[in-house]
């Protein structure tokens, strides 16, 4: 799973994070290092879709939060992935 | 690196920078970016320009990319040099016979055995082709040799190679062999007929060293122009086919 938008959504699923915190978190749970351009490309798209929202912050490090729509979208995507994983594992057992 | 990264951030569309630049800068301060991140930011800026389709900026970004690609291609492509010499002929015989004679001699000089000697004596394609069979090495050398008439009284001999000095040395060698053998054959033919040989040959233009292909400046100009045009074309296409939402 290396789709940057999905990785960002998964990262925000357990709480608000700013860009650098997302980058570190994604590297820790997925082993994928998103470049700054890729990360902010994903953030821009996700915010445009209304799946994440920027929070007010006195700092320049602006945190983001998963919206209800974003949570629903993440659940759908993960369910789809789960089906693929299950089918792949089932087929591997038959070989 | 910091300066070059800031330059790359400026490639993002103005509306995007207005919204995201402060937090993007904060991210860059936290992560200490390297060259790979610079490339990632340039790619991100390019994609963002594609989303927003700003024509002048797209042209500038693609022109920059064109320069980068052209520069890399130019640096990575080995330079080649063509060494060309011109041999002149004088004789009482008809032109076609002189040309036929030199052509036959050239065919002999460019046959496998003499060319094999030429490859070995001049150390041609030592690094690139040691693993290749001799037949392929001969083919490669033949592809880079030109022997052709440029007038009824003159022949051009040319060899192209990545090393300018070797190119010049091989052309000199070919010219010497063609001239020596042509004169020898002409002498033999005259002797067989019991007449005096009138054929004379001289080097009109000695072998030179001329770089082949586009220079770095030409390549960069091409990258600049091609990139800018591509940028404008993509921006216009994006604008035309942009989805309503």
Residue B17 CA: distances (Å) to CA of A40, B31, B159, B229, B235: 11, 19, 55, 25, 19
Q: For B4-38, how does the pLDDT look when each residue is reduced to its tens digit (9 = 90+)?
A: 888 899 989 888 999 999 999 999 999 889 999 99
User: Same domain, yes or no, for B230 and B184?
Assistant: no
- Min Cα distance A63 → chain B (Å) is 9
Size of interface A-B (CB pairs under 8 A): 64
**Per-residue model confidence (pLDDT) at position A43:** 97
Chain B residues closer than 8 Å to A37 by CB: 37, 40-45, 47
User: Same domain, yes or no, for B196 and B109?
Assistant: yes
User: Same domain, yes or no, for B126 and B220?
Assistant: no
User: Same domain, yes or no, for B24 and B90?
Assistant: no
Helix axes B216-241, B35-52, angle to 10 degrees: 40
Q: Which residue has the tokens 């002929």?
A: B89
**Per-residue model confidence (pLDDT) at position B28:** 94
CATH of the domain at B206: 3.30.1890.10
User: Same domain, yes or no, for B71 and B87?
Assistant: no
C-alpha R_g of chain B: 29
- Degrees to nearest 5, angle at CA B148 with B147 and B151: 145
Q: In angstroms, rounded to a whole number, what is the distance separating the alpha carbons of residues B49 and B154?
A: 58
**Per-residue model confidence (pLDDT) at position B155:** 87
Q: Give domain limits for chain A.
A: 4-94
Among partner residues A36, A38, A62, which is closest to B28 by beta-carbon distance? A36
How far is Cα of residue B8 from the mean position of the Cα atoms in its chain? 31
Q: Let me know: does B175 contact B157? Beta carbons within 8 Å.
A: yes
Residue B203 CA: distances (Å) to CA of A93, B94, B98, B156: 79, 20, 16, 10
**Per-residue model confidence (pLDDT) at position B164:** 86
Low-confidence ranges of chain A (pLDDT < 70): 1, 95
Chain A residues closer than 8 Å to B33 by CB: 36
Number of structural domains found in chain B: 2
User: Same domain, yes or no, for B96 and B186?
Assistant: yes
Structural domain harbouring B151: 80-211
**Per-residue model confidence (pLDDT) at position B242:** 56
Q: Which of A20, A36, A53 to mutate to test the interface with B (most CBs of B within 10 A)?
A: A36
Q: In angstroms, rounded to a whole number, what is the distance separating the alpha carbons of residues B8 and A38?
A: 14
- Min Cα distance B23 → chain A (Å) is 5
User: Same domain, yes or no, for B16 and B97?
Assistant: no
User: How would you write the pLDDT of chain B (245 residues) with one tens digit per residue?
Assistant: 778 888 899 989 888 999 999 999 999 999 889 999 999 999 999 888 877 767 777 788 888 889 988 888 887 777 788 899 998 887 766 555 667 777 788 888 888 888 888 888 888 877 665 677 778 888 888 889 998 888 878 889 999 988 888 999 999 999 998 888 888 888 888 788 787 777 788 888 888 878 777 777 888 899 999 988 888 888 777 766 654 43
**Per-residue model confidence (pLDDT) at position B212:** 78
- Min Cα distance A59 → chain B (Å) is 9
User: Same domain, yes or no, for B19 and B117?
Assistant: no
User: Same domain, yes or no, for B31 and B128?
Assistant: no
Tell me the CATH number for domain A4-94: 1.10.10.10
User: Same domain, yes or no, for B28 and B107?
Assistant: no
Write the ipTM. Answer: 0.90
User: Same domain, yes or no, for B114 and B231?
Assistant: no
Q: Under 8 Å CB-to-CB from A4, ≥6 apart: which residues?
A: A34, A38, A39, A41, A42
Chain B residues closer than 8 Å to A41 by CB: 44, 47-48
User: Same domain, yes or no, for B108 and B188?
Assistant: yes
- The mean predicted confidence, pLDDT, of chain A is 94
Contact A41 B48 (CB under 8 A): yes
CB atoms within 10 A of CB A31: 8
């Amino acid at each position: 799973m290396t789709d940057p938008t999905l990785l960002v959504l998964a990262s925000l699923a357990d709480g608000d994070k700013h860009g650098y915190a997302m980058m570190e978190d994604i590297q820790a749970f997925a082993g994928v290092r998103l470049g700054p351009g890729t990360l902010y490309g994903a953030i821009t798209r996700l915010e445009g879709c209304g799946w994440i929202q920027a929070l007010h912050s006195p700092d320049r490090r602006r945190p983001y939060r998963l919206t209800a729509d974003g949570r629903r979208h993440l659940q759908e995507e993960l369910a789809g992935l789960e089906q693929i994983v299950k089918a792949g594992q089932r087929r591997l057992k038959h070989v | 690196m910091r300066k070059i990264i800031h330059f790359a951030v400026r490639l993002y569309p103005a509306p995007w920078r207005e919204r995201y630049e402060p937090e993007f800068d904060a991210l860059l301060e936290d992560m200490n970016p390297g060259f790979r991140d610079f490339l990632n930011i340039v790619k991100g800026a390019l994609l963002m320009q594609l989303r927003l389709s700003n024509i002048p900026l797209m042209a500038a970004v693609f022109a920059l990319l064109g320069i980068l690609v052209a520069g890399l291609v130019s640096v990575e492509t080995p330079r080649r040099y063509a060494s060309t010499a011109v041999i002149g002929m004088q004789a009482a015989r008809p032109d076609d016979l002189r040309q036929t004679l030199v052509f036959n001699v050239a065919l002999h000089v460019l046959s496998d055995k003499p060319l094999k000697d030429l490859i070995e004596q001049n150390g041609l394609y030592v690094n690139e082709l040691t693993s290749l069979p001799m037949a392929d090495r001969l083919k490669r050398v033949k592809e880079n040799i030109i022997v052709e008439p440029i007038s009824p009284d003159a022949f051009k001999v040319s060899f192209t190679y990545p090393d300018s000095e070797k190119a010049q040395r091989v052309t000199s060698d070919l010219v010497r062999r063609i001239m020596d053998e042509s004169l020898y054959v002409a002498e033999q033919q005259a002797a067989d007929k019991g007449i005096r040989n009138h054929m004379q040959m001289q080097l009109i233009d000695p072998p030179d060293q001329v770089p082949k292909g586009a220079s770095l400046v030409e390549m960069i100009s091409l990258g600049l122009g091609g990139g800018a045009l591509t940028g404008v074309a993509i921006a216009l296409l994006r604008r035309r086919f942009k989805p309503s939402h």
